[in-house]
Amino acid sequence: MKTAILVCVDKDINDANDSLDELASLIETLGIKEVQRVVQKALKPNIKTYLGSGKIDELKQMETVEPVDYIVFDDELTPAQMFNVDEIFNASVIDRAYVILDIFRKRATTTEAQLEIKIANLKYLLPRIKTFHEGFDRQSGKIGSKGSGETQLELDQRFLANQIYDNEQKLKEVLSRKKHEVNKRKNSNLKTIALVGYTNAGKSSTLNALLNYLNKVEYKNNLINKSVEAEDKLFKTLTTSVRKLTYKNIPFLLSDTIGFINKIPNELLSSFMTTLEEAKNADLIIVVADLTDKKLNMQLETTIRTLEKILGDKKPEIIFLFNKIDEFNDIPDIRFEVSGYKSLGYSNKDEKYQYKLLELIKEFLLQDYEIIDLNIPYQDQKLIHKLETTTSIISKTYFDDYILYKVYCPKSYTKEYSIYRAIDMVM
Per cent of the chain over pLDDT 70 is 82
Q: Residue 127 — very low, low, confident or very high, per pLDDT cuts 50/70/90?
A: confident
On the question of pLDDT at 342 being above 50, the answer is: yes
CATH code for the domain defined by 2-107: 3.40.50.11060
Sign of the CA dihedral running 78, 81, 86, 89: negative
Compute the CA torsion angle 232, 233, 235, 241 (nearest 10 deg). -40
Prediction pTM value: 0.77
pLDDT at res. 204: 87
* Alpha carbon distance 305, 302 (integer Å): 5
- 2-107 and 189-366: same fold? yes
Which residues does 372 contact at the CB level (< 8 Å), separation at least 6? 406, 407, 409, 414, 417, 421, 424, 425
* Alpha carbon distance 58, 47 (integer Å): 18
Residue ranges covered by each domain of the chain:
2-107, 189-366, 369-420
Chain-wide mean pLDDT for the chain?
A: 83
CA distances from 188 to 36, 147, 347 (A): 55, 57, 31
The domain made up of 189-366 has a fold known as Rossmann fold (3.40.50)
Q: Residue 148 — very low, low, confident or very high, per pLDDT cuts 50/70/90?
A: very low
* Alpha carbon distance 331, 345 (integer Å): 13
Q: Is 171 left (phi over 0), alpha (psi -120 to 50) or beta?
A: alpha
* 70 in Cβ contact with 34 (< 8 Å): no
